[in-house]
Amino acid sequence: MHTVAKINLFLLLVLTFSTIKANNQADSTLQGQKQACHREIKVYSGITIFYSTLGYGLYTAWYKDYSTGHFHFFNDNQEWLKMDKMGHSFSCYSEAVNGMNLMDYVGLSKNKAMWIGSFIGLGMQTIVEIMDGYSNKWGFSWGDMGADVVGTSLALSQRYFWDEQRIKLCYSFHTSGLRSLRPAVLGANNLTGILKDYNGQTAWLSANIRKFARHSKFPPWLNVAVGYGAYNMVTGNPNDQAFFLDSKGKLHDPSHYQRYPIIYVAPDICLQEIPFIKKHRTLFIIARFLAPLKVPLPTLQYDNNHGLKFHAFYF
């Protein structure tokens, strides 16, 4: 859902900048139990205030103007060829990783940092889904909730077993060319298009080769990524066949746009593992901030409509 996409992006940015600030302030070692305790109190207080403020803001901005009723469920699993679900998983994964980094700054043990950090993103998304459940415009979506759990679990399990993120969820976006058909649905400009136009979004699963082949000669920064996207989606629900007007007033029949999924395979670069970046504190923090984005590189694309296609540069 578009409101959830905006919430996810906002929460991700807040957590990321919080982590960057925390890393800038952190000493190489904690200077005593008292300092650690004060740091923990400040972070927990900040999280509490953030949740309370954001919850009230969400209600005021997105739910207040819509009628509410009894709690109910809404099945949107057939919408957008699951691209919205990919967005949920990506957001919760990124929020969990940043939450864990923040808890590391506090000085918590591995287990505490792992569980509390994971809850930061999943907890916020759960609040959003509950609010949706009382809104007559939407409803509680088990599909969205499941995607949130998948993203959080990916971050949590890797922290538990490996104490690092060897496999990451990342994201890329390009202008799809369909946005002008339905600007209210797909975005009126490039900024809103990033959030709304699922035709231009690609969700990636990017794995570091060296982490799984320690004695190989692959460089430590090289990843291999598999991406998923979809195209020709002018409506969310494939059963929505109501004619619509584009931005120029031309009438369109949704049945003329046959949606289809797309698979991508490409190399990726883990910026945090590049040796000179790893040694430079500021560059490392910037690399961590950019980690959720797929690095544009040569890419193979496959779909049933066009077969196999090569992109010299794909984002």
Residue 22 · residue 102 · CB < 8 Å:
yes
How many domains are contained in the chain? 2
Are 152 and 221 part of one and the same domain? no
Q: Which one of 105, 137, 164 terminates a domain? A: 164
Are 74 and 141 part of one and the same domain? yes
**String of DSSP letters for 1-36:** -HHHHHHHHHHHHHHHHHHHHHHHH--SS---HHHH
CA 72 to chain centre: 26
| 41, two tokens | 């109190």
Instruction: Go through 97-127 and write b for each residue having 16 or more CB atoms within 10 A of its CB, e for each that does not.
Output: bbbbbbbbbbbbeeeebbbbbbbbbbbbbbe
Are 215 and 132 part of one and the same domain? no
Of the candidates 86, 147, 158, the residue with the CA atom closest to the CA atom of residue 117: 158
Residues of the chain with pLDDT under 50: 1-7, 9-10, 13-14, 17, 20-22, 24-28, 30
Question: Which pTM value belongs to this model?
Answer: 0.83
Are 26 and 154 part of one and the same domain? yes
Query: What confidence score (pLDDT) does residue 231 get?
Result: 96
Query: What confidence score (pLDDT) does residue 5 get?
Result: 47
Query: What confidence score (pLDDT) does residue 54 get?
Result: 64
Are 46 and 96 part of one and the same domain? yes
Query: What confidence score (pLDDT) does residue 147 get?
Result: 96
Are 202 and 106 part of one and the same domain? no
d(CA 231, CA 199): 5
Q: Which one of 105, 138, 164 terminates a domain? A: 164
Q: What are phi and psi of 124, to 5 degrees?
A: -65, -45
Query: What confidence score (pLDDT) does residue 59 get?
Result: 63
Are 147 and 178 part of one and the same domain? no
Are 288 and 233 part of one and the same domain? yes
Domain span at residue 188? 166-315
Query: What confidence score (pLDDT) does residue 3 get?
Result: 47
Are 199 and 50 part of one and the same domain? no
| 123, two tokens | 């907890």
Are 227 and 246 part of one and the same domain? yes
Are 130 and 215 part of one and the same domain? no
